[in-house]
């Protein structure tokens, strides 16, 4: 982002500040649709649930992946003005509750809208049967997430070898299975994970068809069509050496065209980070500059308990830059709280932090960090009574 714009916005709004560029979000969405034309985009709003981002994606025609009733309501608030039939169709066609573990009271509310839900166990299926019997189901399978920065296979997904038995029991409970979902892990750098997963899904479909276990939606389209939800994990260029999205998309396209006929399979994906990460720029001010230390130490008004929480929970690398010019020299960089964990340079507890190089800074000087639109404000806190960064939207 242009330094002049960053400085102007910081002077107007103060710091800490997170600038969200909606033109970049639109570019990312169009890029995804261009590279993966068969796949409907369900934005994973856990990455950044700001209502303005939701509005922008809604205008573009995006659908949404939610993980709680509160997230569901963020979407519902934008479409509740629709006529009842139109509202029902929107919820059915454009929202997936993709958390395989749901609270009973949430399911009870959601049943009003006959939602699309994921599950990965017989226990969750029975809970859904009791509290949300009109839901459609996606069975989430466990796949390899090797090479991904954040893994999910330790927590979610049924072993594919057990999938057919669970499908059988779900059908016996008169629940509707619409398709199968998986997740290759966040920031996935192994295209082979998607290839193996897609082939596994195709194999399960084939086995289910042979057994007569009908999978597929018949309610709104009038004929069976299976759903394949390939999850998220599409990598963002934080360091520059990540798997390219263009290359990954080409591999996925080749595989889905080989495995899944267009008239029989509906393909979905749940990108979160991909759509918003590079749309966010964090801006902070130097609160204290210690030139008496070696190397110099700078304390800024944002840290790991706030926008830089992504260092802890999302394991992203960061590059902090200064607005002012000068020769960059090694320094230590700290957040504003009284906790020693709140360290942004070479943090012994946070393994993805390294050395930081900045020019000679003084109190009040500005620093900024790009690629901060995903999993930053989403996990920010009010620790030490310090509020999260103010969010400013541009190019709405």
Residues involved in catalysis: 338
383 vs 188, more confident: 383
Tell me the Ramachandran region of residue 395: left when phi exceeds 0, alpha when psi lies from -120 to 50, beta otherwise. Answer: left
Q: What was the pLDDT predicted at 153?
A: 73
Cα dist. 285→7, 41, 303, 389 in Å?
11, 37, 11, 12
pLDDT in tens, 374-393: 999 999 999 999 999 999 99
pLDDT in tens, 269-327: 999 999 999 999 999 999 999 999 999 999 999 999 999 999 998 888 899 999 999 99
pLDDT in tens, 237-265: 888 878 899 999 999 999 999 999 988 89
The pTM (predicted TM-score) of the whole model is 0.94
Contact 346, 245 (CB under 8 A): no
Count CB-CB contacts under 10 A for residue 131.
Answer: 18
Domains of the chain: 3-17+278-394 (2.40.37.10), 22-276 (3.20.20.10)
In which residue are the tokens 């398709």 written? Answer: 179
Count CB-CB contacts under 10 A for residue 219.
Answer: 11
């Amino acid at each position: 982002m242009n330094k002049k714009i960053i400085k102007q916005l910081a002077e107007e709004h103060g710091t800490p500040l997170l600038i969200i560029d909606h033109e970049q979000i639109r570019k990312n969405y169009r890029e995804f649709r261009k590279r993966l034309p068969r796949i409907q985009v369900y934005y994973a709003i856990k990455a950044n649930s700001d209502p303005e981002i939701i509005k922008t994606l809604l205008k573009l025609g995006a659908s949404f992946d939610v993980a709680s009733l509160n997230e569901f309501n963020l979407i519902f608030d934008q479409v509740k003005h629709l006529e009842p039939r139109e509202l029902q169709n929107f919820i059915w066609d454009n929202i997936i509750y993709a958390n395989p573990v749901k609270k009973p009271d949430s399911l009870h509310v959601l049943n009003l809208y006959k939602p699309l839900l994921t599950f990965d166990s017989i226990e969750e299926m029975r809970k859904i049967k009791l509290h949300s019997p009109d839901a459609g189901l996606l069975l989430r399978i466990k796949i390899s997430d090797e090479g991904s920065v954040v893994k999910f296979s330790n927590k979610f997904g049924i072993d594919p070898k057990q999938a057919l038995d669970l499908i059988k029991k779900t059908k016996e409970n008169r629940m509707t299975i619409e398709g199968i979902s998986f997740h290759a892990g966040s920031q996935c750098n192994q295209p082979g994970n998607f290839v193996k997963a897609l082939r596994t899904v195709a194999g399960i479909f084939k086995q289910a068809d042979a057994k007569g276990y009908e999978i597929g939606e018949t309610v709104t389209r009038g004929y069976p069509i299976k759903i394949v939800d390939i999850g998220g994990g599409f990598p963002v260029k934080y360091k520059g050496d990540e798997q390219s999205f263009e290359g990954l998309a080409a591999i996925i396209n080749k595989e889905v065209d080989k495995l899944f006929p267009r008239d029989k399979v509906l393909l979905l994906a749940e990108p979160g980070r991909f759509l918003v990460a590079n749309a966010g720029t964090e801006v902070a001010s130097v609160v204290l500059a210690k030139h008496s230390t070696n190397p110099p130490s700078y304390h800024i008004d944002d840290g790991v308990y706030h926008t830089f929480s992504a260092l802890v929970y999302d394991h992203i690398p960061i590059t902090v830059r200064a607005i002012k010019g000068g020769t960059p020299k090694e320094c230590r960089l700290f957040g504003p709280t009284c906790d020693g964990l709140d360290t942004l340079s070479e943090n012994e507890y946070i393994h993805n932090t390294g050395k930081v190089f900045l020019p000679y800074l003084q109190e009040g000087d500005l620093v900024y960090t790009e690629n901060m639109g995903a999993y930053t404000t989403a996990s920010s806190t009010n620790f030490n009574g310090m509020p999260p960064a103010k969010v400013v939207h541009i190019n709405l």
